[in-house]
Structure 1
Amino acid sequence: MNRQQIFLIVGAVLAVVLIYQLPRVVVENETTTEVETHDFSITSEDEARFATLRQQLKESEEIKKSVNFADSLARLSLKYQMADSAARYARLILSLDGSREAVEKAALIYYQAFQSTTDPEVSKELALKARENLEDLLVDDPQNTFLKNKLAMTLMTTETPMAGVQMLREVLAAEPENREAILNLGLLAIRSGQFDRAEERFTNLLEIDSTDYEALFYYGVSLSEGGKAAEAKDVFEKLISNSDADPALKATASSLIKELENI
């Protein structure tokens, strides 16, 4: 696996999503019709879920239920990296309901869609949508670190990315063991080539929770990218040997070991 592929994983934060050439869909009139444009097969179970949720959304006459159906459709779309489809459901939610709960649902959909796309321009557009809604939410709840972590990452797509880094540091100042802030700073360190700093971040997470296998994976990536192939291989092998680790993380670690062995 080359550096670009690793950074795509880093950009998505969740290493379990490795295949980006998955189907994109169109949601007609922001309501219920989806058209597959690639030949990737959605599982029959999820096809049925899509069909049921679309029908429920179409027939729903209650705003709250419609919002929940749209939210479920967006999350199911994100499972298959359908960022454009998920974003349209987020927009539908906002058109149906302006409550704080609905805005937060839409903001998180936009945020996850922003992280799941590999198109830089689309990523910026989705980050902007997420940022606008996150900022609105933070007006009434300025100390909400859950939202601030996500707002910080959307700021990385702007002309002032250091504002995002500063916000993550502010979160850590308030909550020194905030996992998401530490993880994000570690990922940003990898992106910027500060591999020693990244190692520190992920080591910190492992000190907080030794079963944080995502942190263990990225610790291995930090070592690998920093030229410490033997140490990285040991870390990846440790991850693979743990029965509790996510299978996708283990599969990725196995691929990286093969790459290290071919160096």
Structure 2
Amino acid sequence: MLNTKQIVVISTVAALMAVLFFMDIKGLVKPKETRGAGMTTETASQPVSISLESISTTAKNSLSANLAQQITDLEASLKQASGSDKLKLQQQLAQKWDDVNQPAPASFYHEMVAQQVNDYPTWLKAGDEFTDAYQNTQDTLVQPGLVQKAINAYKNAQQLQPKSLDAKTGLGVAYVSGTPNPMQGIQLLLEVVKEEPRNVKANMNLGLFSMRSGQFDKAVNRFKTVNDIKPSPESWFYLASSYENMGLKDEAIAAYLKSKELAADPGLTQFVEKKIAELKK
């Protein structure tokens, strides 16, 4: 989740807590009256209409006037473009939004590119962008629409490359995160780790979903696997959170310290130090 884009740098702890908020993980966010492995059936089943125009307008509010105007100019040019020029402008807008760490509008342009190019890598990229978008927005009205677009993109990727574990993983995460049928997603992720036991993304998400359902012992095993293969501030942070929820204070402290060490982020350092102080009481 660490981002080194030149224009916008997001604090590690902010990114981590955004995922925790979205996942509604026990012990780290305020519990809701009801819990489940995804959005409620009522929310997920409602037809959601999301427009690029409204998402772009909202995203521009977080940019400087100069950057916002650059994007507005590109959007105006796109409306008049056709053929190869249209594709180039869509690619430019996708990259422009990526550069300022705005996955929601970027995902729409990646989808446009995929619709024209129609190959596996572009559809997979579109799916990953929509995933970033729905995991990083707090707008509960927009989330279901972004989830559905992610699902559609991954399905298109699967049609072009049926054996893709990346597409299956993304699809599994989307089903669990934002549909009334989370077990379908869990099954897809379990199929991925059965075929590839050391798949980092599948293990990471299965760990998160285990946390969400209060199965912290299972979460620990998933995050340990991730840390053996590709350790990151996130995986150590979630491992620490799982240990904390299990009452294993010493293990939690050690994992939190490892997360802080790898991140070297002032925001995460402050959060971890506060956590450690609480655990030592």
TM range (shorter): 0.7 to 0.9
Aligned to 1:75: 98
Q: More deviation in 216-225 or 61-70?
A: 61-70
Secondary structure, counterpart of 2:57 in structure 1:
strand
Aligned to 1:213: 233
Q: Give the distance between the partners of 2:268 and 2:90, measured in 1 at CA.
A: 33
TM-score normalised per structure 2: 0.68
Q: Give the distance between the partners of 2:93 and 2:111, measured in 1 at CA.
A: 10
TM-score normalised per structure 1: 0.72
Q: Read off the aligned partner of 1:192 and give its amino acid letter.
A: S
User: Are residue 226 (structure 1) and residue 246 (structure 2) matched?
Assistant: yes
User: Are residue 253 (structure 1) and residue 263 (structure 2) matched?
Assistant: no
8 A Cα contact 1:70 1:93, kept in partner: no
Q: Read off the aligned partner of 1:184 and give its amino acid letter.
A: N
> How many equivalent pairs are there?
232
Q: CA deviation at 1:229?
A: 2.8
Consecutive unaligned residues of structure 1, counting only runs of 5 or more, are 14-25
Aligned to 1:188: 209
Q: CA deviation at 1:73?
A: 3.6
Alignment deviations for residues 192-242 of structure 1 (CA, whole Å, 9 cap, x no partner) = 100111111111222234x433211111011112222332123212332x2
Secondary structure, counterpart of 2:197 in structure 1:
coil
User: Are residue 59 (structure 1) and residue 59 (structure 2) matched?
Assistant: no
Structure number with greater CO (CA < 8 Å, separation at least 6) is 2
Alignment deviations for residues 155-210 of structure 1 (CA, whole Å, 9 cap, x no partner) = 0122221111111111112212111011111111111100111111111222234x
Q: Read off the aligned partner of 1:99 and give its amino acid letter.
A: N
Please give the root-mean-square deviation of Cα atoms over the aligned residues, in Å: 3.3
8 A Cα contact 1:108 1:130, kept in partner: yes
Equivalent residues in 2 for 1:1-263 (5 A)? Answer: 8-10=18-20, 28=53, 34=57, 42=63, 48-59=66-77, 61=81, 62-76=85-99, 79=101, 83=104, 85-86=105-106, 88-89=108-109, 93=113, 97=116, 99-100=118-119, 102-156=122-176, 157-209=178-230, 211-240=231-260, 242=261, 244-247=262-265, 248-260=267-279
The percentage of counterpart residues that share the same residue type is: 25
Q: CA deviation at 1:109?
A: 2.4
Q: CA deviation at 1:12?
A: 5.8
